[in-house]
Amino acid sequence: MTEWSEVLAGVTQSLGGGRDAGRARMLAAWDGAGPGEHAPRCVLAHYLADLEPALADEVAWDEVALREHAYLADDALAPVGIPSAAALAPSLHLNLGDGYRRQGRITEARRELEAAETTAHLLGDDGYGELLRGGIERLRARLDAGDD
């Protein structure tokens, strides 16, 4: 069973400048997570995607994060300070949509953008919400301009 403390330690370490060590710690937490541990697997995959140097691996982790998210109860991420798992959906769709765009998979990118736009109302009126809404707008502009 994966402990949230290990998940958070890896995320914190990777964000704090220890990218490789944090990634290794998150991969170890991933290996310890059982297939039914959807909440930690969703969070780990979400952050591991950002640490991948290869686009294909980044997109693969983003796909895993979104698949795991589908199994979450709305309060499943409360232990890590995310009061509503549903509010994570716009970020997951945005990341996957941008990855698909960079791979040239425009139809899939548009599908994920639409899902991000549809779930954006779940975002708060705070800095994080504004950041994501801005990302959604930028992805829309890139796709509409054909900026693949």
Nearest CA to 95 out of 127, 51, 125 is that of 51
Range of the domain at 129: 38-145
Answer yes or no: is 20 within a domain: no
Answer yes or no: is 89 within a domain: yes
Selected residue with higher pLDDT from 107 and 124: 107
- Supply the Cα-derived Rg of the chain in whole angstroms: 15
Instruction: Write out pLDDT tens, residues 53-77.
Output: 999 999 999 999 999 999 999 999 9
Helices 4-15 & 19-32, crossing angle to 10 degrees? 160
Answer yes or no: is 86 within a domain: yes
Q: What is the pLDDT of residue 19?
A: 79
Answer yes or no: is 65 within a domain: yes
Answer yes or no: is 31 within a domain: no
How high does pLDDT run on average in the chain? 91
Place of tokens 């490789």: 20
Residue 80 has pLDDT above 70, yes or no: yes
Answer yes or no: is 23 within a domain: no
Instruction: Write out pLDDT tens, residues 16-42.
Output: 777 788 888 889 889 989 999 999 999
Total domains in the chain come to 1
Answer yes or no: is 33 within a domain: no
Mean pLDDT of 72-90: 92
Answer yes or no: is 113 within a domain: yes
